[in-house]
Chains A and B, each alone.
Chain A
Amino acid sequence: MRETVLRAEGLRKWFGRTQVVEDLSLEVKRGEIVGLLGPNGSGKTTSLRMMLGLIPPDAGRVTLLGQPPQRARDRTGYLPEERGLYKDERALDVLVYVGRLRGMSRTEARRRALEWMARLELEDHTRSKVEKLSHGMQQRLQFIASVLHDPELLILDEPFQGLDPIHTLLLLQILGELRDQGAAIVLSTHQLDLAEQLCDRVAMLFQGRVVVEGTLEEIRQKFAGRVVRVIAESLPPDLPGVQEIRSFGREKKLILEEQADPDSILRALLERGARVDLWERHALSLYEVFYLVASRA
């Protein structure tokens, strides 16, 4: 049985009169990647900050590696959504400074920083000032700052933001390797296709609440049969049991209501005299699940 690295129970947070996070519970084990997904303002960043102990929850409890988050700082890595490094300092110097703050010796921090810079194709920029680096390079540098000290838990807020496709793939590969080495990873992202490739489990947040949680398979299973691909002539807009019709040229996708039976809908369609060339139950992508969840919520 794998060790639980992060355990959040019943987290709640209010900012003034607004409840930002409502009863969030999450468990992340060693060697697991968990995606925290949700639209803007759904409470992802606040949840991550509470998990790290950056802001205290109004209710609930977090433990990292069996300890309060404040005591596990040197064993966790964090990539904040609001990127920031000292812009007027040299890239390598900033990394060494952050590494030393995480408890590494200067020599070790420097050695690891150089290794990671080479891995992320920044070896030619060790002496460049941060402000001279491109947005994507700064993003990679910031990622190095979060993994430099070999954390057991890695929390990444929008890690793919600003990366080109090549470096996105590189980061996907690195995160997979870190997982294989036993790191527990929690990430939030809008790029659901990447989350689909990477995450073992996901939790979808909507307006501060977890609305869906589980492995990708569990989620797909849960929403199986909710979308049907159709190619048909004169598709009536008011079919019973159909929540929405999305058009992709000749092909349409019918999003069905929660308890609707696709066979009954097909029968109703044929009874109305429609000519149906294709009727196929569709395996949902995370985007479609997300859309369904958001529209239901």
Chain B
Amino acid sequence: MSWAKTFLIASHEFFTRIKSPVFYILILNPFVGYMLIGLLFGLMFAGASENLELPVGLMDHSGLLSMLPSKEKGDENFLIYSSMEEAQAALRDRRVRALVEIPPDYLESGQIIIWVYGSSSWPTTVLVFNQTESFLRKTIVQNRLDSRTARRVIEPIDGLRIIIADQVGELGDLDLQGGIFGRARAQVQQIVRFLIQTGARYIILVSLFLSNISISITYSYQDISRDRANRMGELMLSTVSATEWFAGKILGVVLIMLTQTLIQMTLVLAIWGVISWQLLGDLTLLSPREVGLVLVYYVLSMLFYVSASMLAIVVHPKVTPVLLGILQLLNLINAAVVVAPSSRIAIFMSFFPLTAPGTMLVRVLLKAAPWRDVVISLGVLGVCSMLAILAGSAVASRVLIPGMPAFSISRPRQRR
């Protein structure tokens, strides 16, 4: 096998792609997607803001509010009730838009209960949650209560660690009195802060990587189809071996996708860095070790998926769409690993050739991939990629040379 010819084919594919406007459209595609998702969130919050002028009911079973001087209890956003029946009646009659119930064990559990009505319950809950949090901080923390109470108040809901102690003062200044736009800005700031601190950049990178692997499958299909449509198969296969041609095509797609991903990652991390710098005062990016491991995995993932999709394309033109659809599906279901990256299912998917690349990519990003799993899955991927390349080379001529049957079984029979 001549590597010089393989690299020549790969570079030809690379430069053909990079000259195409589609390449740049696909680079920006995820960012447009994120913007649309952001817009959707905005619209949902706007829908939840219909009754924003109504106050929120507050029923305190913990005695927390009774610790305050009476003048500090007032807030036009909240109506404090003394009985649960009265509070629920107010919610039923839509005199309040939600009811926040502070249970007796709030200081221990950190849990509050939010009662809401209507189809926009989730955004309403988020808004109410944030308002409650701010109210508690503003009215309790700033009154310099004991440290145990203050610590609890700044972490009002179990599992959602939104703020850290040294930012209490800053958060206490959130303008909840500034009308709808002031409130919306405050909400957005809180959500972005939440995303940064809970590591949502990993989720964004996972979605970026998985969508790029899907794009690489499409690229593979386009590359083979281009040679087939231009009837280049015979000329190419009289010039280079099927293995050189196949490997060159795969390498070309991998190179272009890596370039695309590198540009996208730079953009993501730059935007993310600016936002996190603006909001948190520091840069929360990936560590060099994470970047290195992710890069190695991403290259191998791409290599495997592109090889497998090329194989799917050259096996038989009629079944190509079905096989590519299955590959796309298997790639996208890897996103589910985000939910439980160390579960048994995730470990099984890490060693199953058709899901191993995507699953391990997600697990590595989420720091849930022990070295043993990395080594085993890399071995599986390496072997399967080689097999896919060899199998693809063996059947390539059947698809690329016009007039050749896709599958033929030679039998020694006479023509007539």
Contact = CB atoms under 8 A, between A and B. Distances in A.
Contacts of A145: 235
Contact of B232 (A13, A19, A55, A85): A85
Interface stretch (A2-10, A76-84, A237-245, A248-256): A76-84
Given A16-B408, A19-B413, A45-B403, A89 B239 contact: no
A87 B100 CA distance: 68
B235 A84 contact: yes
Interface in A143-180: 145
A101 interface: yes
A145 B236 CA distance: 11
A98 B239 contact: yes
A58 interface: yes
A101 B240 contact: yes
A82 B241 CA distance: 19
B231, B234, B240, B416 — most chain A CB neighbours (10 Å): B234
Interface in B233-249: 233-241
B241 A15 contact: no
B413 A17 contact: yes
Nearest to B244: A101
Given A55-B397, A89-B16, A82 B408 contact: no
B67 interface: no
Nearest to A82: B402
Contacts of A76: 238
Contact of B12 (A13, A55, A84, A97): A97
Contact of B408 (A15, A80, A85, A208): A15
B234 to A, nearest CB: 4
A19 B226 contact: no
B415 interface: yes
Contacts of A78: 234-235, 238
Contacts of A16: 405, 408-411
Q: State the main secondary structure of chain B at its contact with A.
A: loop
A58 to B, nearest CB: 5
A19 B238 contact: no
A126 interface: no
B231 A58 contact: no
Given A54-B397, A73-B241, 11 more contacts: A16-B409, A18-B415, A19-B413, A49-B234, A73-B238, A78-B234, A80-B235, A84-B235, A85-B235, A100-B8, A101-B239
Given A19-B413, A19-B415, A80 B238 contact: yes
A70 interface: yes
B239 A102 contact: yes
B238 A52 contact: yes
Interface of A: 13-20, 22, 45, 49, 52, 54-55, 58, 70, 73, 76, 78, 80, 82-87, 89, 97-98, 100-102, 142, 145, 207-208
Given A16-B408, A16-B409, A16-B411, A54 B232 contact: no
Contacts of B159: none
Nearest to A145: B235
Assign chain B's interface to a size class. Answer: 20 to 34
Contacts of A73: 238-241
A282 B235 CA distance: 43
Given A49-B401, A101-B8, A208 B235 contact: no
A98 B235 CA distance: 9
7 contacts: A13-B410, A15-B410, A22-B414, A84-B231, A84-B232, A101-B8, A101-B9
B5 to A, nearest CB: 6
Nearest to B240: A101
B230 interface: yes
Interface in B1-26: 5, 8-9, 12, 16
A83 B412 CA distance: 31
Contacts of A85: 230, 232, 235
Contacts of A83: 231
B345 interface: no
Interface in B366-416: 397, 401-405, 408-416
A14 B402 contact: no
Contacts of B238: 52, 54, 73, 76, 78, 80
A98 B8 CA distance: 10
Contacts of A208: 415
A15 B5 contact: no
